[in-house]
Each structure stands twice: as C-alpha cells, then as structure tokens.
Amino acid sequence: METVKVNSTIQNQKQASTSLYKILWRWHFYAGIIFAPFLIILSITGSIYLFKPQIEQVIYKDYYHVTPNGERVSATQQIEEVKKLYPNSVVTKYRPGESASRSSEVSITLKDKSLTIFINPYTGKKMGELDNEDRIMDKIVDFHGELMAGTLGDRIVELAACWTIVLIITGLYLWFPKKKQSLSGVVIPRLTKGKQILRRDLHAVPAFWITAGMLFLVMTGLPWSGFWGSHFQTIATNSGAGYPPSIWSGSTPASTIKTKDIAKVPWAAENLDAPASKIQGFIPLSIDDVISIAKREGVHPSYSIYIPQEKEGVYTLSAFPPKAQDEVTMHIDQYTGAVLADYRYDNYGLIGKIVAWGITLHKGTQFGLINQLVSLLICLGIILVAISGFYLWWKRKPKKELGVPKAPSIKNMKPFLVLMIVLGILFPLVGLSLIIVWVLDWFIIQRIPAMKSFLNA
Amino acid sequence: MKKYVCFFFAVICSIFLTACSGEEDAANLYKQEQPLELNIIIPESFSANHQETIMAVLIQDGKKVKGADYVHFEIWKQDGSVNYGMEEARDEENGTYSLRKSFDSEGLYFIKVHASNKGSIIMPQKQFIVGKLSESDISFLKKGAQIEDGSHENHH
C-alpha cells in the first residue's frame, strides 16, 4: 500500500516537472522569438555607447582641445561673445571645462534648436558649434533607450528589458541539470556529441555564463526607463531612500527673494519713463560668482551650470562624472548666492546610491577601460545567445508549424502562475502584455483552427 | 515557495504604502541647508549733504540672525565716480546690520552685501537710484550689460 502511494507521488511529481519544463520552454520560446531582435539592437547600440568617451574625444577633438595660454577670459565675457554671435538665442547652460586644456561650452536654444558653442577660454573666441541633434552618440543612446521612436520606443525597450528577466528565469530552469551529470553541457559546451547537442550547448552554456551580467544590465537600465523607472525613482525619492529630490524626480527649490524685490529688466520695458523704482531691486548673480561658489564648495570640475530662465528660478550646478561617488547636484539662489541644496553621493539614500552605482557601471565609466571591456563582453555574449537561440529553433522547426511545445493548461501550474502574476505586478508593462496575450489567445487564437495548430496553443 | 512569495508581496506593498503616504516635502528626508535670507532696506529718498542709513536684515532658519559671522557692505556708483569699497556693517543686535553713507552724487548705485553665518555665505547685489539717472546710467541699463562688480576680489 505504502509503496504504491510513494510510486504514484513520484510519478505525479515527474509528470508535473515535465509539464512545468514544457510550459517554461514554451514561454521561453515565445519571449525569445519576440524580444531577441530588441536584445540584439540594445546590445549593439550599447556596445558602441560604452565607448562614448573615447569616440567623442576623437570626433570632437577640434572642439574639445585647447592649449592653455595665460589668463582665462571670464565666463561672463564668454557668454557675452556667444550672445553677440547668436543675437536671438537663449543661454541655457554653461560648462567651464574640467581641465586646463578643455574648451568651455555654452548651450543655447535658437529657434527650436539646441546648440552647443565651444569657446576657447583663453581667447574668448568661438571654436565651433554643434547642433545637439547631430551628435552621433546622442542618436545611438536614443536608439538604445527608445529606438528613436519617443515614448512608444521607450515602452518597447522597457518591455524587452522586463521580458528579459522572464527569459533569464525560464532559461535558467531549462538549463539547470536534471540529472547528476558532468560539467560538460552545463558550463562547458559538448563539442563531440553531435550537431543537435552542440547547437543546444552553444545557446544554453554561454547564456549561463552571461546570465549574471545580463540581469545586471537589465536591472541597472530599468531605473532609466520612462514608465517603470520614473515611478520607481519617485517612490524611492519620496520614501527617503532614493535620490534626493530634483535629481531624478521631485521639485527644485526656489529663490528666497520675493518677486517684488527683484529689479525689472528695463530693456524689456523699452523706455525708462516707466517708474524708476521698478528698476531698483535685486539683480541676478553673475555667472562668475557662481563659478567661485562652485570652487569654494569643492564641486567636481566637470560640472555644468544650468542658468535660470524664470525669476524665481535657481542656478543649478550638476556634475555626473565617471565615478558615482563624485556626483553633485547643487542649487544656488540666483540673487543671494546662498546654497539652497547641496546633494552629493553621500547624501543619497541607500537605493539612490545603488542606482547611482548601477548607472555608472552600466555606462562603463565607473572602472574605466576594464569596466567597458567587461560590459562589451556581456553585450557580445547577449548577441551570440540571441542568435544561437534563434538558430537552435530554426534548425528543428517543422516546415508548417512553429515547432513550439504544446501548452498544458496554465491552471495546473500554480507556481508558474504565481511567478507570472508577481512579475506582472512588479513590472506592470509585463502584466499588461500578459493580459493582451491572454485576450488574443482567448478571442482569436483559440477560435481559428489554423492559428491554433500553427501556434500549438 | 509560497511563503517567500507572500513575504515578497508584503514587502512590496509596504514600500508602496509608505511611499504614497509620505506626501510631505521629500526634501525634508534628505540633507538640508540653512540658507541665509535677507532684505536690503534702502531709504525712500536721499537728501544732499546728509548721511543715509542702509540696512540689511538677515534671517536664517526662520529666525533673525544676531551676531552673524560677518556682514560687509560694498557700495559703488555705476559710472565709477563713487566707490566705498568693502566695509563692515554695524550689528544693530536685532538681526539688522547697517551702514551710514552720504550719497551726494545722483545716479545709479549698486550695493553688494557679503554675509555669512553658520556655513551659509551670500553675496546679493541690489541696484538703486539716487535722484535722477544720468545718460550713462540709462545707456548702461538699456544695453543690459552684465553688471560689473565693484571688486573682482572674492571675499574671505
């Protein structure tokens, strides 16, 4: 009696595990087919963007490099020069340059265009101008982050990133050795066991090797995404554990001077017959004063100054250098010069610190060249795994079918269902896509026999 | 397995709940500055051959600042004909700091207050008119030129 019972439970378990294997394979298959192309795009663009510092150093050499020569012209004069050259422009940003041999940059907007003007700080003369839309690296990162398709692209990339997590979890289960076997086929591909096994191993083994790196890139990239990322950042900031407000989300402090105490700009009023008392009042700090405040406060030299466009606005100093620990965001009252907020890496909450490190590691700047090379290796690995996965399917695909394992009813797969629901809640876009798949399946695929047999649904 | 999922769920829910209940200013949860605030009081009218009092009222953390680390006034005229340099202002003991000066020459003036207390340093600049503006003042204002500092030296 006892033995029979034991036997039947073993059989049940076996059955359950083969059908779990099948359902995970099925999900891995569909997610892979749909998102592999995006993973390849992300890996290629990411591999290029990793080397942004080196690439820009070469292509913008004539804009970046200056020969130190005597006294520097004041920032105010440099900006005056730009205003003279571009009379109807609005100056939005000034970047003094992090070293003696680096040009300074004045960012302006002119008729819907954002331009960067490079100035030689020793002569005060323009070295060149760059339309920000023409920056090749900006295009690459735009492709990487939103497929050059704005919000829709951003959501697609985010979806691909989230589904990569599903691919990783299901893939790990499929890879995990079922029997006690040697390391070959698990961590080393089996080269002599026939083509079919070699194809499987060329997908599964490298995938295992890059799993951690791939998961890392996904998890560190997600906080940048438009939907999940911005909500995540807001929640983290408001809980006190994230970035302080104004860096990613949350408001910027306002100037402490009351609007009525600020001097009116007479040249906008055309004539000075308007009450002279209006001209009396506080006037904004010069940018040179802002620079001396930056020096006094020990801001990392790669900072930029964002120039206030509103009366109640503030000067914002911001530096996001290669290493997370050097980051600064500082708000300065545009009239009094008081430091209203000074957020360094040390002032971030725990989640903020982790995200900051994640970002610099993801971009490959935190540890310089080694960091770039490791990340490049992961990207190349992802491309290999995506292509070999596709090839693996292509080779065993029957002519008229998709060759996808038959789906057991999901109701019998409670752990899997729970996992998908949890992922669907944690990543609402995954949840949304699951609902869409379910609706499609229920209303279309299940009702059209040809579809049903093709998809093996 | 189920236990873990439930636990995980509870953690996520609590994060959401605490985050959403925290509607107050998130800035209070992070490092805060105590910036000096001030008001510069300039006499309504100036009379010749008479010294006028210029005052600055300092406020920090909602309270008037008594015995600030330093409060210096720098006053000069747009055309450069008057330049009082940097002078220490008199502590009036109630958060008010003052300096008496004569303004016999009409035109556009600037005052820059250099003040510091408890780590906050400020250097606001205000423009004011004594009597009538000169031609030079008007063209200066119209040009919208950046205001030249009386001294390019930085204080302290």
List all residues 6 or more positions away from A447 whose beta carbon is below 8 Å from its beta carbon. Answer: none
Return the pLDDT at A272: 52
- pLDDT tens-digit map of B69-88: 999 999 999 999 989 999 99
pTM of structure: 0.86
Interface check for B11 against chain A (CB to CB < 8 A): the answer is: no
- pLDDT tens-digit map of B90-117: 999 899 999 999 998 999 999 999 999 9
Determine whether the interchain pair B19/A235 forms a contact, defined as Cβ–Cβ distance below 8 Å.
yes
Task: Give the residue-averaged pLDDT of A282-293.
Answer: 95
User: DSSP string of B23-67?
Assistant: -S-GGGGS-----EEEEEE--S---TTSEEEEEEEEEETTEE-SS
- How far apart are alpha carbons A93 and A293 in whole angstroms? 16
Determine whether the interchain pair B126/A263 forms a contact, defined as Cβ–Cβ distance below 8 Å.
yes
pLDDT confidence band for B6 (50 / 70 / 90): low
Q: Is the dihedral of CA A17, A20, A21, A22 positive or negative?
A: positive
CA of B49 vs chain A CAs: smallest distance (Å): 22
Q: Is the dihedral of CA A97, A103, A106, A112 positive or negative?
A: negative
Return the pLDDT at B154: 39
Kindly report the CATH number assigned to the domain that includes residue B56: 2.60.40.10
CA of B9 vs chain A CAs: smallest distance (Å): 8
- C-alpha separations of A222 from A160, A161, A376, A457, B140 in Å: 10, 7, 19, 32, 52
- How far apart are alpha carbons A213 and A74 in whole angstroms? 46
- How far apart are alpha carbons A337 and A330 in whole angstroms? 11
Phi-psi region of A176 (alpha: psi -120 to 50; beta: other; left: phi over 0): beta
- How far apart are alpha carbons A249 and A233 in whole angstroms? 7
Task: Give the residue-averaged pLDDT of B108-137.
Answer: 93
Q: Is residue B107 in some structural domain?
A: yes
Task: Give the residue-averaged pLDDT of B34-56.
Answer: 90
- How far apart are alpha carbons A345 and A301 in whole angstroms? 15
Domain ranges of chain A: 19-53+141-223+371-455, 67-121, 248-347
Nearest residue on chain B to A271, alpha-carbon basis: B142
Task: Report the domain count for chain B.
Answer: 1
Return the pLDDT at A456: 76
pLDDT confidence band for B141 (50 / 70 / 90): confident
Nearest by Cα to B147 from B111, B121, B116: B111
Listed range (A85-89, A235-239, A436-440) with the worst mean pLDDT: A436-440
pLDDT at B13 over 70: no
Ordered alpha helix ranges (H), chain B? 2-21, 135-143
Return the pLDDT at A411: 63
Residues of chain A with Cβ-Cβ distance to B141 below 8 Å are 266-267, 272, 279
- pLDDT tens-digit map of A240-281: 999 999 998 888 999 999 888 888 765 444 455 556 677 889
- How far apart are alpha carbons A85 and A82 in whole angstroms? 5
Return the pLDDT at B16: 54
Determine whether the interchain pair B127/A281 forms a contact, defined as Cβ–Cβ distance below 8 Å.
yes
Interface check for A269 against chain B (CB to CB < 8 A): the answer is: no
pLDDT confidence band for A16 (50 / 70 / 90): low
Percent of chain A at pLDDT > 90 equals 67
Q: Is residue B4 in some structural domain?
A: no
Instruction: Compute the mean pLDDT over every residue in chain A, rounded to the nearest whole number.
Output: 89
Q: Is residue B58 in some structural domain?
A: yes
pLDDT at A172 over 80: yes
Nearest residue on chain B to A261, alpha-carbon basis: B39
Phi/psi at A107 (nearest 5 deg)?
A: -95, 135
Residue B59: give the domain boundaries. 36-143
pLDDT confidence band for A363 (50 / 70 / 90): very high
Task: Give the residue-averaged pLDDT of A115-143.
Answer: 95
Nearest by Cα to A236 from A365, A62, A356, A385: A356
Q: Which of A238, A266, A337 sits opposite B26 (nearest CB)?
A: A238
Nearest by Cα to A375 from A38, A150, A50, A82: A50
Q: Which of B20, B35, B141 sits opposite A272 (nearest CB)?
A: B141
Q: Which of A256, A266, A286 sits opposite B147 (nearest CB)?
A: A286
Determine whether the interchain pair A335/B123 forms a contact, defined as Cβ–Cβ distance below 8 Å.
no
Length of chain B: 156
Instruction: Compute the mean pLDDT over every residue in chain B, rounded to the nearest whole number.
Output: 82
- pLDDT tens-digit map of A31-77: 999 999 999 999 999 999 999 999 999 999 999 999 999 999 999 99
